[in-house]
């Protein structure tokens, strides 16, 4: 089992990264290999909205600007069995770098044979002091999963006053994915 962590945080520490570390712990405990993809390590362009709204993303399932790292990241996702998406909440949304990437990926996934289709996804968002915008941020990632046919395993929001017990939940969720729990399995 290989799990990719798609990270939208630009920081190497902080709240969002703490949740990512908890997810890694759970995944490793379950025997999974982890590939942490830090989107901020790339200089990804935003979707250029080619032609009349659709470009090669629609006709040939690839982005003509893919050499900026988009293709490399897509391959890493393709080579994984499950995905953990984690982002800080910025302006009540996913971080800009996460948005840029997901906007392009969902277009390339349009033909039903995409790299995330039928894969379990754990969605994590971390708001700051206000806590505002958590739901809209989670909802954005949910919509990406609905558009691409990914299977949502769980949604977890963690902030500065709940992170002790939410990190336990993240660790457990990643562990559950790693050991092969399927959505719909009955536990008790």
Ligand X SMILES: Cc1cc2nc3c(=O)[nH]c(=O)nc-3n(C[C@H](O)[C@H](O)[C@H](O)COP(=O)(O)O)c2cc1C
Q: Report the 3 state secondary structure along the chain.
A: CEEEEEECCCCCCCHHHHHHHHHHHHHHHCCCEEEEEEHHHCCCCCCCCCCCCCCHHHHCCCCCCHHHCHHHHHHHHHCCCEEEEEEECECCECCHHHHHHHHHHHHHCCCCCCCCCCCEEEEEEECCCCCCCHHHHHHHHHHHHHHHCCEEEEEEECCCCCHHHHHHHHHHHHHHHHCCCCCCCCCC
Give yes or no for residue 16 binding ligand X (CB under 6 A).
Answer: yes
Interface region with ligand X, contact rule CB under 6 A, candidates 42-50, 102-110, 130-138, 171-179: 130-138
Which one of 69, 128, 149, 180 is in contact with ligand X (CB under 6 A)?
A: 128
Which one of 91, 143, 162, 168 is in contact with ligand X (CB under 6 A)?
A: 91
Give yes or no for residue 132 binding ligand X (CB under 6 A).
Answer: yes
Smallest distance, ligand X to C-beta of residue 23, A: 14
Give yes or no for residue 121 binding ligand X (CB under 6 A).
Answer: no
Give yes or no for residue 9 binding ligand X (CB under 6 A).
Answer: yes
Smallest distance, ligand X to C-beta of residue 127, A: 3
Which one of 35, 69, 71, 92 is in contact with ligand X (CB under 6 A)?
A: 92
Interface region with ligand X, contact rule CB under 6 A, candidates 20-28, 68-76, 120-128, 173-181: 120-128
């Amino acid at each position: 089992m290989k799990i990719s962590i798609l990270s939208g945080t630009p920081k190497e520490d902080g709240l969002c990264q703490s949740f990512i570390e908890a997810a890694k712990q759970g995944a490793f405990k379950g025997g999974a290999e982890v590939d942490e993809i830090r989107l901020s390590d790339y200089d990804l362009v935003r979707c250029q909205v080619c032609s009349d709204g659709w470009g090669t993303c629609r006709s040939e399932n690839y982005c003509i600007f893919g050499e900026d790292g988009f293709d490399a990241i897509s391959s890493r996702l393709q080579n994984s069995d499950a995905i953990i998406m984690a982002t800080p909440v910025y302006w009540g949304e996913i971080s800009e770098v996460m948005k840029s990437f997901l906007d392009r990926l969902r277009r390339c996934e349009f033909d039903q044979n995409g790299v995330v289709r039928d894969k379990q996804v754990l969605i994590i968002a971390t708001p700051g002091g206000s806590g505002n915008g958590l739901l809209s941020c989670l909802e954005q990632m949910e919509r990406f999963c609905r558009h691409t046919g990914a299977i949502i395993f769980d949604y977890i929001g963690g902030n500065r006053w709940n992170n002790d017990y939410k990190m336990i939940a993240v660790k457990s969720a990643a562990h559950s994915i790693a050991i092969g729990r399927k959505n719909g399995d009955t536990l008790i």
